[in-house]
Amino acid sequence: MSFKGQHILSVKQFDRDNIQYIFQIARKMAPYASRKKRTRVLDGAILGNLFFEPSTRTRVSFGCAFNLLGGEVRETTGMESSALSKGESLYDTARVISSYSDVIAMRHPQAGSVAEFAEGSRVPVLNGGDGANEHPTQALLDLFTIERELQASGQSIDGMHIAMVGDLKFGRTVHSLSKLLALYNNLKITLISPQELAMPDEVVSALDNAGHRLTITDKLEGNLNADIVYQTRIQEERFPSKAEANQYRGKFRLNQEIYTRHCKSNTVIMHPLPRDSRLEANELDNDLNLNPNLAIFRQADNGILVRMALFALTLGVQDLVQDYECTV
Ligand code: CP
């Protein structure tokens, strides 16, 4: 199984075997991610890290993952600081940046833009989020986290109950995660959102066709008795106006009191982050921070492992990672 030279644009390109292979490489990265060991396997290689939409985790973790493998990172952040704002096409940008880089990670506000960019690229392109469409590396790290969290209590992904909550219409992470979950067996899936922010039909069909047991509801209480609760933020940036987004903010708040009343004692809480900490929104309350089942920061940590694995695989060095003795 080889990912060498491949773009990572959509979760649709994965099956269960290659997901397990990515996870196997991700686990191998743990001592390098924690700096217990060092490697220079990507010494001399350059990542073009192009973020045309705000990001904290994805941008920084792509950069850190590449640095941890010994490579260098060159970044562009924000549309206004790029020649795209002067009318340059994605194709031309890709032709140029791909001759400066060995691999490119990119986020852009338009659905389909990263795939369009990849057509002009001569090196692998990793989709860091394209509008409301997909966020494949987030979905892989989410699935990696779900597997790890469930394994800790002797469970597996097959047969689990997951509740996805919030803005399921615009939340690209739940779109990509759902398409990966369609590869698994006999899941119970509860989709909780305002009717106007329901999961797109295409994603619901994928889950339905996989034979999963689906519940679609606009009620939070009574529907959180799941193994995993995956909370999401209202994606204000995808709404026509802030006022329209405000109608939904704060409607599906999860806090310790609701957790105690409605979740199982070991329900794992996930969120792709950022969570909206403004008082009127606050979909995941800070009073859950000491709850041991809050997995949101373990989830973010796993992003480094999965992104290191994806760089190693797309650059074909996954079997060459070895310890580097620093003599300085
Ligand atoms: N989860 C995620 O995509 O976070 P950022 O927007 O901070 O990259």
Are 295 and 190 within one domain?
yes
Q: Would you tell me the crossing angle of helices 136-151 and 172-181 to the nearest 10 degrees? A: 60
Domain span holding position 118: 11-134+301-314
Q: Which residues are paired to 215 by β-bridges?
A: 190
ipTM greater than 0.90, yes or no?
Answer: yes
Are 117 and 177 within one domain?
no
Are 224 and 306 within one domain?
no
Task: Band the pLDDT of 327: cuts 50, 70, 90.
Answer: low
Q: Of ligand 1's atoms, which has the minimum distance to the CA of residue 54?
A: 6
For 13, which DSSP code?
Answer: G
Task: Band the pLDDT of 215: cuts 50, 70, 90.
Answer: very high
Are 158 and 215 within one domain?
yes
Q: What distance in Å separates the CA atoms of residue 249 and residue 236, rounded to the nearest whole number? A: 9
240 cis-preceded (ω within 30 degrees of 0): no
Q: pLDDT (tens digit, 9 = 90+) per residue, 228-259?
A: 999 999 999 999 999 999 999 888 999 999 99
Are 42 and 59 within one domain?
yes
Q: How many domains is the chain partitioned into structurally?
A: 2
Are 257 and 225 within one domain?
yes
For residue 117, count CB atoms less than 10 angstroms from its CB and return exposed for 0-12, middle for 13-18, buried for 19 or more.
buried
Question: 3-state class of 134 per DSSP?
Answer: strand
Q: What distance in Å separates the CA atoms of residue 158 and residue 165, rounded to the nearest whole number? A: 20
* 55: in domain: yes
Residue 323 Cα to ligand 1 midpoint, Å, equals: 30
* 58: in domain: yes
Are 160 and 287 within one domain?
yes
- Residue 180 CA, chain-centre distance (Å), reads 12
Q: Of ligand 1's atoms, which has the minimum distance to the CA of residue 59?
A: 8
* 140: in domain: yes
Are 34 and 175 within one domain?
no
Are 125 and 141 within one domain?
no
168: CATH: 3.40.50.1370
Judge if the beta carbon of residue 76 lies within 6 A of ligand 1: no
Judge if the beta carbon of residue 237 lies within 6 A of ligand 1: no
Task: Band the pLDDT of 1: cuts 50, 70, 90.
Answer: confident
* 71: in domain: yes
Are 172 and 87 within one domain?
no
Residue 55 Cα to ligand 1 midpoint, Å, equals: 5
* 324: in domain: no
Residue 54 Cα to ligand 1 midpoint, Å, equals: 8
Are 41 and 144 within one domain?
no
Q: pLDDT (tens digit, 9 = 90+) per residue, 55-94?
A: 999 999 999 999 999 999 999 999 999 999 999 999 999 9
Q: Of ligand 1's atoms, which has the minimum distance to the CA of residue 107?
A: 8
CA-nearest residue, atom 7 of ligand 1 = 56
* 121: in domain: yes
- Residue 239 CA, chain-centre distance (Å), reads 21
Helices (H), the chain: 16-28, 30-33, 57-68, 90-100, 113-119, 136-151, 172-181, 201-209, 242-246, 256-262, 296-314
Kindly report the number of other CB atoms within 10 A of residue 303's CB atom.
Answer: 27
